[in-house]
Amino acid sequence: MSQQYAEILFPRKIFQDQPTLTYSIPENAEIRPGLMAEVNLRGKINRGLIWKIHSDKPSFATKPLEKILHDSISLSESQLEQMAYISDYYLCPLHKVLKLFLPAGIFTKKKPPTLETPIDTSKPVHLKELFPLSEDQKKALEKINSSKHQTILLHGVTGSGKTEIYRRLTLPLIEAGKQVLILVPEISLTPQTVQNFQKQFGKNIAIIHSKLTPKKKLDYFAGIFQEKHQIVIGSRSALFSPFQKLGLIIMDEEHEDSYKQDQAPRYHARTVAQHLLSKNPELKLILGSATPSIESYYAASQGQIDLVEMPKRLPNEEKEHPLPTIHLVDLREELRKKNMSIFSEILQEKITDRLAKKEQVILFLNRRGAASALLCRDCGHSENCPDCEVSLTYHNRITVEGSLMPAERLICHHCGKISKLPTNCSNCQGTRIKYIGLGTQKIEEELRKLHPQAKIVRADRDTTKTQEDFLNLYETFRDSLADILIGTQMIGKGLHLPNVTLVGTVLADTSLTIPDFRAAEKTFQLLTQVAGRSGRSKPGEVVIQTYSPENYAIQNTIKHDYQSFYQKEIKERLENLLPPFKKLVKLTIEDQDSQKAYLYSHQLAHDLEKTRTDSAEQNQIDSINIYPALIPRLKKKFRWQILLTGPNPAEFLKEFISKKPLRSEIKIDIDPLNTI
């Protein structure tokens, strides 16, 4: 038998143009791609992944493999193929993709990690009739089970009982010895998902997310690899767990932006999950949402995936199925009535009424802090972050070592820089400084003045630094130990709070003003999801305050009309040739020198345009646009963006890079969620 060689992949870049290093395989070694191995690299023992095996003798001398780790976690052939797909599709080096699939502890621990980890092996509890199904749920379950499609979009209004459908789909697979993955947008914001599944299937559930300690993640991965964990609940990274018999992927709130990673590889969990289906005909993917992404609903309308609708809520205490009544408030009219309060007259009345009835209230504003900017009334100057071209946000309390302290500070919400409040304007030395704008802290302040007896809690990035912070806050409010919850978008992500009968959106316009093609979609989704927290057990109401009451996203929200919103939005996308009708690739060029950032980005745009003009495959790309980023300077770096649009701009870019490699620091975003 001829000498065999192994290509070893490490979780870091070794050489610029060479993703792996070649080692000789000892005679009679039991080996396959996907196993871990120890090798001598620059005089030290390092661990890497056996990427390929071949008999092509290299032109240089090779070292032998030191040790093959048969008792460690390994990757299957399908996982290796998935790695190659992510690297190729998202134009990302393999060493960065490897970090998704194997926890850091495998490479860094002094002793090779083994599979002998202490794991709870208690059998899952199977309570088959935990909740009776409604007629809508029965029809949905029947249609899903009989569907010939591998991907199914479950479009159910808020409170329609999608979670019970997920559990009913999970049960037969667990009994058949299969594994099930339930993806949630952010694990720290969905404690009830874990609790609901633990009630039915016991506590032997792996919970995967980015905040796990290396040891805990390694233990969970070992349990999944050995099939001791049949159920895995996690954020997008859970998709890369070492499943052996995966039978079902459930992607709850599939429309959420947090399923897209913002660092290389900038993958979308939905895209990667759908690629998995192509390699496993037995695997099914359920996409669940009350407000599906435009792309998913379009795919369903074209018959590419199946569509299952659940248009009614589960019955409340009065045996009714109503969605909450929504009141629209034009804030311009409130100003004409000389109402200068944060709260409209109707919202004030309804808050007072709900507190008197011992019912709960949620107030939503997608902006934290006490004021959005600090403005000098003499010269108009606003205090900006010295490292980012954005206004600093005023906070009258900040989180220090896990506690909220009554210290007034200016904070940059992009780089985190904290500054003391100036006593004088830095531009004209004037003293007439005014706080402008609105934030969750300001709402809390005003509420305490109006309702001093009410117990008020706030959920935003300042008060929920850890997973435990949000869990404690959620349980406090769920158990009716607080009357009013104030929060940002985190409170709209699937929380079931039975005693909430009023939701107030203090200002619905914040996401509408973003100059991006998804602004209307995100506004509709956010408002609908937040409104859906009201009236789940008792009749509920929603008050939406806005300066743009005529906008179609807001109009369709108050009518609970996804279909009309979708028809309007898909028409706009078609007219402007935007996703799902065309694909996008976004390049972000950054440099601490503004001139260098400008020159390199414009030279790159020129080279791309020239390649496009000269290319025989011009049909891959329609347009190339260059523009400064919405935040032109971030964390001391000046930023320019290039947007490629067309049927296949990624393939065009791949061909371009093969002839003229990009700088390694350029950010490549395939299928970006925004263009700003």
User: What dotted CATH number matches 317-368+439-576?
Assistant: 3.40.50.300
The tokens for 512 are: 């509408």
Q: Where in the chain is the domain with CATH 3.40.1440.60?
A: 5-108
Indicate the helix (H) or strand (E) that contains 655. helix 649-659
Cβ partners under 8 Å of residue 644, min gap 6: 584, 585, 586, 587, 608, 621, 623, 624, 652, 653
Q: Between the CA of residue 496 and those of 172, 537, 560, what are the distances in Å?
A: 26, 10, 19
Answer yes or no: are the C-beta atoms of 270 and 117 closer than 8 Å: no
Q: Where in the chain is the domain with CATH 3.30.70.600?
A: 583-670
Give the pLDDT score at 390.
79
Give the pLDDT score at 367.
74
CA torsion 138-144-146-148 (nearest 10°) is 170
Q: Where in the chain is the domain with CATH 3.40.50.300?
A: 135-310, 317-368+439-576
Look at the pTM and tell me if it is higher than 0.85: yes
Residues paired with residue 248 on neighbouring β-strands, in sequence order: 180, 284
Answer yes or no: are the C-beta atoms of 204 and 271 closer than 8 Å: no
Answer yes or no: are the C-beta atoms of 588 and 641 closer than 8 Å: yes
The tokens for 58 are: 């290299």
Indicate the helix (H) or strand (E) that contains 583. strand 583-591
Residues paired with residue 456 on neighbouring β-strands, in sequence order: 484
Task: For the chain, state the CA radius of gyration.
Answer: 27
**Model pLDDT for residues 519-552, shown as the tens digit of each residue:** 999 999 999 999 999 998 899 999 999 999 999 9
For the chain, which residues score pLDDT lower than 70? 1, 16, 112-130, 188-190, 368-373, 396-407, 435-437, 616-618
**Model pLDDT for residues 633-653, shown as the tens digit of each residue:** 999 999 999 999 999 999 999
**Model pLDDT for residues 463-498, shown as the tens digit of each residue:** 777 777 888 888 899 999 999 999 988 887 777 889
In CATH, what class is 5-108?
alpha beta
As a whole number of Å, the end-to-end CA separation of the chain is 57
Answer yes or no: are the C-beta atoms of 252 and 192 closer than 8 Å: no
Instruction: Kindly state which CATH superfamily the domain 583-670 is placed in.
Output: Ribosomal protein S10 (3.30.70.600)
Q: Which amino acid is at 16?
A: Q
The fold adopted by the segment(s) 135-310 is: Rossmann fold (3.40.50)
